[in-house]
Amino acid sequence: MRVVICGIDAGTHVGIAILNLKGEVLLLTTLENPSASEVASLIIKYGTPLVIGSDVPNSLFVRKVSFLLRCKLIKPRKPLKVKWKEKKGGYLARNDNERDALSSAIYALDKIKRVAVKAIKEDSIHYDEILYRIIKGKSPNVKQAHRDINKNKF
């Protein structure tokens, strides 16, 4: 299973960032007027989405994509500041949409990082499956997720 973290910046031009659990960029692009289902289909091509990040608290479009993918939506209480977004996502982005999408994905990854580190320490081979089980609510903690995965393997 290849688990990915997504960031979406909604608008007329939609920025999309897809990262692996190590924070490596798999995709950073901008699409003009895509539907939520088109964005969801694109994300699935890169892996199983674990969480979707947003740079603003209330984006109906990002919520729709999150719902379609059955993903947890990670959003800030207040819009992320442009200075922070430039620092986190501006280095690879070709435009503001990509910068905001990348910083949204990084924000989401930062929010699950503590659990991700525990998962990697528990099992460096199956850590993505462990994290997936925890975030999706299938296992209550890292140790139980590890046991559940090993039970299903044999």
Domain, as residue range, for 23: 3-111
- Examine residue 135 and state whether it is found in any structural domain, yes or no: no
* Predicted confidence (pLDDT) per residue in 76-114, tens digit: 999 999 999 999 877 889 999 999 999 999 999 999 988
* Predicted confidence (pLDDT) per residue in 114-150, tens digit: 888 888 888 888 888 888 888 888 888 888 888 888 8
Compute CA distances 113 → 32, 51, 84, 144, 153, whole Å. Answer: 31, 12, 18, 18, 26
Domain count across the chain = 1
Tally DSSP H helices, then E strands, for the chain: 6, 5
- Examine residue 137 and state whether it is found in any structural domain, yes or no: no
- Examine residue 123 and state whether it is found in any structural domain, yes or no: no
**pTM (2 decimals)?**
0.89
**What does the mean pLDDT of the chain come to?**
92
- Examine residue 152 and state whether it is found in any structural domain, yes or no: no
φ and ψ of 57, to 5 deg: -70, -30
- The CATH number linked to 51 is 3.30.420.40
- Examine residue 8 and state whether it is found in any structural domain, yes or no: yes
